[in-house]
Amino acid sequence: MSLNIHPSHPSFRSVMAEHPLTRIAGAHSALGGVIAEQVGFQAVWASSFEISAARCLPDASLLSMTDYLEAAANIQKALTVPVVADCDTGFGNSMNVAYMVAEYERAGITAVCMEDKIFPKMNSFAAAAHTLLDAGDFAHKIETAKKAQRSEDFFVIARTEAMISGLGVDEALKRCTTYADAGADAVLVHSKKATKDEVLEFLEQWDNRLPVVVVPTTYPDWHADEAHAAGVSAVIYANQGLRATITSLRTALGSIYQTGHSAHLEDSIAEVKDVFALQRLGQWQEFTA
């Protein structure tokens, strides 16, 4: 009898190779990651926004690499699909990036994403200045990450915030070309426009040199199949799970408080046995027999 405490998982690179369109769900805990895997997502995004929000802190480089690494590693331990770790700006300079890659690889993470803002960064959707790092300096971070990796499978996603900062599609194209030259395995183009038009303009001019990852938070009506047809290789639903959790908790707990009991909720919330199943309680109890 054995308990698979840390399930094996394919690398993110192999998942990308197997799935022409890889669907990725954001999570901040192993519980959220397991549910994402159960419903069919091929990978899980260890979101810095979600991980920060779970501690009621802003996504503004307040937490340390250790905080984010611990959260990503705990998610990965519970999954049989890979985690893509949101590593913000790389937690510092190129020396920090090298250390980050070594530590994330050691924890079993096979993919990381870095963005080209200056440190400390602010969440892309916050009303704030979003100043970018010099493209050459960020390219050096990418080069460092690729040089530091031990496994050929390790996957580095270069995220440009050019469109977030208002510099437009041309600057995003220029930067992504530079990051491709630096050895990035994929590029992530981010937009906070209410439509997909800005991202489509990028895709129409991109030469398909590297896979493109998108995060359709502000243009949620873009169907995954349509995105793939336009040239997208991976879609990250980065924070919908967190937002759904907030709404559900507020509704359920508010209702309990107002009515003084929870009987009316029992048919619409998970049973305790569902929690036991997610905890694999039955497997653990075999050790007490």
The position carrying tokens 């303009």 is 201
Report helix, strand or coil for 286: helix
Instruction: Write the CA distances from 105 to 101, 154, 205, 273, integer angstroms.
Output: 6, 8, 34, 35
d(CA 38, CA 52): 24
d(CA 184, CA 100): 16
Please tell me the number of Cα atoms within 13 Å of 233 on its side-chain side: 19
d(CA 181, CA 146): 12
DSSP 26-74: EESSHHHHHHHHHHT-SEEEE-HHHHHHTTT--SSS-S-HHHHHHHHHH
Please list the active-site residues: 59
